[in-house]
Amino acid sequence: MRKNGVRRSLPIILTLLLALMITATENAPDARAADATSRASAFQLANGMQVIVIPDRRAPVVTHMVWYRVGAADEPKGASGIAHFLEHLMFKSTEKIAIGEFSKIVARMGGQDNAFTSQDATAYFQRIAKDRLANVMAMEADRMANLRLTEKEVLTERDVILEERRSRVDNSPGSILTEQMDAALYYSHPYGTPVIGWSHEISQLDQKDAIDFYKLFYAPNNAILVVAGDVTVDEVKRLAEETYGKVPANNGMKIKRERPLEPPHLVPRRLQLNDPRAGRASFHRFYHAPSYVTAKPGEAEALDLLMKILASGSTSRLYKKLVVEKKLASSAGGWFYGDGYDSGKLSVYAVANDGVGLEAVEAETDALIAEIAAGGVTEAELKRAKNSLTAQFIYGLDSQATMARRYGWAAVVGQSVADVDTWPDEINKVTVEQVKEAAAKQLDLRQSVTGYLIPQALPSAANKTDGATSPTNG
């Protein structure tokens, strides 16, 4: 057990290390980029599968991930939730693996596994001892090509998904509002459809839907293998060719994603959800924005820095204004989601203090946004934001899982290893003028949806709509 004195000194040591790392990144960006570049290598198998290797020799373990370039935004219209549904079904059976045995086998080997679905990707991952890497690669390659789905398995899992939706969304007022706001934010694009799916469409999904979706999108030429850990590029290449390399490509697959284009947003939209389960009243705002894939050079980086200054943490302008100075809110914050294949999103929120109306919270937020759009940010604010984002990037280099996700996500939306490696340098190039321009351009009410969550019940007639009002223009 550590003595108290040692435990108290740890934050000081970490602070000093962080200061040294930030100073190094500010003074030697070229050296940092060169070091980051050496961490990952990429190549492609003959069947079209992309492979990224991130050697990390500190411990004899590896993080193994398979990413598919398919997510909820690629689903057939009317079949929402099928991407997430198939993610669950991938843990069923093949000719070699019995029903429900996949995760149990990984656990018996001393490993951990899981999966996730987003709008743009579906990914499966294992953390395992190095000497078992070949085993999990063979298992993952097997279910890439040989998944078996009986009607009973599909229907049973469909009930699981419906229960998951009830517990995570339908029983959570905040999740309901977020889902409704996303639906209102997008006019044409499928990002407005929830990843888990709409209940009435999930309940109609069947065995044929699952098999058709599997055959359409699950193939090596639509997949990315990422291995981070105690490996060399040559080791991974040999194992990948012995396992995934034997899976034939789907030559009939449309690799290029074809999704509806989002039209210009010309009017702001508003929603209000009244729900007695909500707790305190809260204000929420989403803005449609570009992502790192779709933005002009430097634009997404400027948005990252803008939201760091405006709404991230207790030193942000939003928190200091609403919580510390005005005492209108108990918490406030925001973020920039820039990882989308087709677009991104800005978000701000505040939880009102007792007795404070959401109109007052919204008015102060709008005034603050107008101030930053007109006057920009200071050099000191920008420097602190750059240091903070750069430090987060550097800390991520110490985590196998973070590295695997970082490179895998970039690849699945069409970015390169170099895009990941040079991100800190691009962040440090951003000027105060670029941040001001990004605020004025993107924090535009016409591109937004505003949501109020109010802890009270609606009249009985309105309750028939689950308490959510329809989107309104205004």
Q: What is the pLDDT of residues 7-23, one digit of tens each?
A: 223 333 333 333 333 33
Q: What is the spatial distance between Cα 282 and Cα 454, in angstroms, rounded to a whole number?
A: 7
3-state SS assignment for residue 214: helix
Return the structure tokens found at 42: 């990429």
| Cβ 94 vs Cβ 143: under 8 Å | yes
User: Which pLDDT score is estimated for 207?
Assistant: 97
| Cβ 376 vs Cβ 435: under 8 Å | yes
Q: Assign residue 159 a region (left: φ > 0; alpha: ψ between -120 and 50; beta: otherwise).
A: alpha
Neighbours of 375 (CB within 10 A): 10
Q: Is the Cα dihedral 67, 113, 72, 90 positive or negative?
A: positive
Q: What is the spatial distance between Cα 338 and Cα 301, in angstroms, rounded to a whole number?
A: 9
Give the number of residues written for the chain. 474
User: Which pLDDT score is estimated for 315?
Assistant: 95
pLDDT band at 4 (very low <50, low <70, confident <90, very high): very low
Q: Which residues lie across from 112 on neighbouring strands?
A: 127
Give the helix/strand (H/E) hosting 31: helix 29-37
pLDDT band at 172 (very low <50, low <70, confident <90, very high): very high
Q: Considering only CA atoms, which of 362, 332, 366 is closest in space to residue 349?
A: 332
pLDDT at 28 over 70: no
User: Which pLDDT score is estimated for 460?
Assistant: 59
Q: What is the spatial distance between Cα 83 and Cα 403, in angstroms, rounded to a whole number?
A: 24
Neighbours of 474 (CB within 10 A): 8
Interhelix angle 4-27/29-37, nearest 10 degrees: 100
pLDDT digits (tens, 9 = 90+) for 366-378: 999 999 999 999 9
User: Which pLDDT score is estimated for 181?
Assistant: 98
| Cβ 298 vs Cβ 461: under 8 Å | no
pLDDT at 32 over 50: no
Let me know the angle formed at the C-alpha of 47 by 45 and 52, rounded to the nearest 5 degrees: 35
| Cβ 231 vs Cβ 40: under 8 Å | no
Q: What is the spatial distance between Cα 316 and Cα 359, in angstroms, rounded to a whole number?
A: 21
Q: Considering only CA atoms, which of 107, 35, 116, 105 is closest in space to residue 72?
A: 116
pLDDT band at 256 (very low <50, low <70, confident <90, very high): confident
Residue 152 CA neighbour count, 13 Å, CB half = 2
Residue 118 CA neighbour count, 13 Å, CB half = 15
pTM of the model: 0.87
| Cβ 193 vs Cβ 183: under 8 Å | yes
CATH number, domain 269-473: 3.30.830.10
Of 233-237, 293-297, 411-415, 454-458, the one with minimum mean pLDDT is 454-458
Q: Considering only CA atoms, which of 244, 286, 291 is closest in space to residue 268?
A: 286
pLDDT at 122 over 70: yes
pLDDT at 154 over 50: yes
Q: For the residues of 254-315, what is the DSSP string, one character each?
A: --S---PPPPPP-S-EEEEEE-TTS-S-EEEEEEEE--TTTSPTTHHHHHHHHHHHHHSSTT
Mean pLDDT in residue range 92-107? 95
3-state SS assignment for residue 348: strand
Kindly list the catalytic residues: 87
pLDDT band at 39 (very low <50, low <70, confident <90, very high): confident
Mean pLDDT in residue range 124-132? 97
The CATH T-level fold of domain 41-246 is: Cytochrome Bc1 Complex; Chain A, domain 1 (3.30.830)
Q: Considering only CA atoms, which of 51, 71, 119 is closest in space to residue 218?
A: 71
297 burial (CB, 10 Å; 0-12 / 13-18 / 19+) is exposed
User: Which pLDDT score is estimated for 457?
Assistant: 76
pLDDT digits (tens, 9 = 90+) for 330-352: 999 999 999 999 999 999 999 99
Interhelix angle 379-396/432-442, nearest 10 degrees: 90
> Which residue has tokens 């105060």?
432
Q: Which residues lie across from 452 on neighbouring strands?
A: 272, 283
Give the helix/strand (H/E) hosting 52: strand 50-55
Q: How distant, in Å, are the alpha carbons of 44, 296, 346, 369, 461 from that of 438? A: 37, 11, 11, 12, 43
pLDDT band at 311 (very low <50, low <70, confident <90, very high): very high
Q: What is the spatial distance between Cα 468 and Cα 183, in angstroms, rounded to a whole number?
A: 12
User: Which pLDDT score is estimated for 459?
Assistant: 66
Mean pLDDT in residue range 184-198? 97
How much is the mean pLDDT over the chain?
Answer: 90
**Residue ranges matching CATH 3.30.830.10 in the chain:** 41-246, 269-473
pLDDT at 182 over 90: yes
pLDDT band at 38 (very low <50, low <70, confident <90, very high): low
